[in-house]
Homo-oligomer: A and B are copies of this chain.
Amino acid sequence: SLIQKNDRLKINKTLTMDTLNPQVKAVEYAVRGPIVLKAGEIERYLEEGGTKPFSEVIKANIGDAHAMGQQPITFLRQVVALCTFPELMDSPSFPEDAKWRARRILQGCGGHSLGSYSASPGVECIRKDIAAYIEQRDEGVPSDWENIYLTTGASDGIMTILRLLVSGKDSSRTGVMIPIPQYPLYSAAISEMDAVQVNYYLDEDNCWALDINELHRAYQAAKQHCQPRVICIINPGNPTGQVQSKKCIEEVLHFAYEENLFVMSDEVYQDNVYAPDCQFHSFKKVLYEMGPEYFSSVELVSFHSTSKGYTGECGFRGGYMEVINMDPEVKAQLVKLLSVRLCPPLAGQAAMDVIVNPPQPEEHTFKQFHQEKSSVLGALAEKAKLTEQILNAVPGIKCNPVQGAMYAFPRIFIPPKAVEEAKALGMQPDMLYCLRLLEETGICVVPGSGFGQKDRTYHFRMTILPSIEKLNVLLGKVRDFHISFLKEYSGLE
């Protein structure tokens, strides 16, 4: 090189966009993307006394219940506080039901302290509680606690299992089937690991149901250029809010069996079902009911989390996965991989324990617990209905029923003029739409393009988490915005 070494050093960084791991560069993650940065900017501007046509930013971009004002479940927090500060065991203001749970958890911890590392798969008694919970949930289908692994949120579990399945080296050959629209953790993980994303499209015209023919199509097409080895399902769906029927789950499992696919079933919204004609069916239970031929062979991992349901404890980073039919040698490799990161956070493990081992009818704490739980789930059901109704009354918006989870994913008509304008600006049309919505109303939602959608269809994802009052305001503003947006871009034609 002509440039002297010392001069070069002063100018060049070691780690630049050119030398950065290209797979990191390839990752896209919209839920915390440019819209959210913009929302932050506007918030600071308002705080500093700036004026806007609105007084506050309403964040409907992320499934973070407590941030939207949902109160924690008292009992859960009592147990975790007792574990954190065991001196509280002497306090008469903590219920005995919480104390015995906390004592039991601490007995399972090294030195009886939440401050010790647990075994990498988690605290043994919590794993046992989880297995018992699953057996009860699935009406007797057996669950082995040694198949349960605590995780740092479901995110961590999903990444870990994909890591086992996807090789960095010849990974361009491993296909991972994911729904479109999807929760972008999946596409991000696939990019980061350099696997091949195999899209199967959910059927918007049929309440975002999973269509088995579409699975076959996607699989056959993918086989031309990669080896599809994994299928991911999100049920209830994020961002699409559908709850899958038993028949549909059977079809997926049969397909996985036939094609020898590893099944990853993301069931973090298993407690979030609102539509009266829907019910949560776990993939495991359905597999069991398909008979021993299936139940003893299909490799299935299902994920759960403290972040959703009625607890909404996102910050605890609690979660677990149940791993079925995994090769024992591979399981040992899984444990090794988990060991490198030592263990999931103990407070999250304790929170998970309360979720799977809540107050029982004969316990004193049951009434308050039950009341708090029903109140959260009742309000969510109401908000799911409200959101669907108001959105569907807007011309140019069409919203499937929010059967479960915490999101509406309405389809929005964007006039060709607006599509052109977005293209000229180098952005997705629904990004333009969401940016305008944010700037004009203070409402922060995520463009559908961040989750994937059929070409030339546009959507946004909003959570149903704001209070009913705020949600009404929000939906009214969306309506007004949408009407004036249509007018602006159609009127100018």
Contacts and interface: CB of A to CB of B under 8 A. Distances in A.
A22 interface: yes
A198 to B, nearest CB: 15
Interface in A4-20: 5, 8-10, 12-17, 19-20
A354 interface: no
Contacts of A188: 340
A78 B85 CA distance: 7
A297 B339 contact: no
Interface residues of A, number: 105
Interface in A333-358: 333, 336-337, 339-348
Nearest to A311: B115
A27 B336 contact: yes
A261 B10 CA distance: 12
Nearest to A123: B315
A116 B67 contact: yes
A417 B85 CA distance: 53
A344 to B, nearest CB: 7
A167 B341 contact: no
Nearest to A80: B84
A159 B156 CA distance: 13
A77 B66 contact: no
Interface string A291-330: 0010001010000000100011111110000000111011
A315 B113 CA distance: 8
B66 A116 contact: yes
Given A16-B327, A21-B163, A66 B113 contact: yes
Interface in A154-184: 155-156, 159, 163-169, 171, 184
A252 B373 CA distance: 57
B194 A14 contact: no
A117 interface: yes
Given A85-B78, A163-B24, A155 B342 contact: yes
Nearest to A69: B111
A397 interface: no
Contact of A299 (B13, B62, B65): B13
Contact of A19 (B22, B78, B229, B314): B229
Given A165-B15, A315-B114, A347 B66 contact: no
Interface string A133-168: 000000000000000000011011001000111111
A349 to B, nearest CB: 8
A153 B341 CA distance: 8
A336 B29 contact: yes
A168 B23 contact: yes
Contacts of A193: 168
Given A23-B167, A117-B62, A315-B113, A12 B333 contact: no
Given A84-B80, A84-B81, A155-B342, A110 B299 contact: no
Contacts of A339: 29, 31-32
B13 A314 contact: no
A389 interface: no
A29 B340 contact: yes
A468 B33 CA distance: 52
A471 interface: no
A315 B349 CA distance: 10
Cβ-closest 5 pairs across A and B: A67-B110, A315-B346, A81-B85, A66-B113, A168-B168
6 contacts: A14-B261, A24-B336, A81-B84, A115-B311, A159-B341, A347-B347
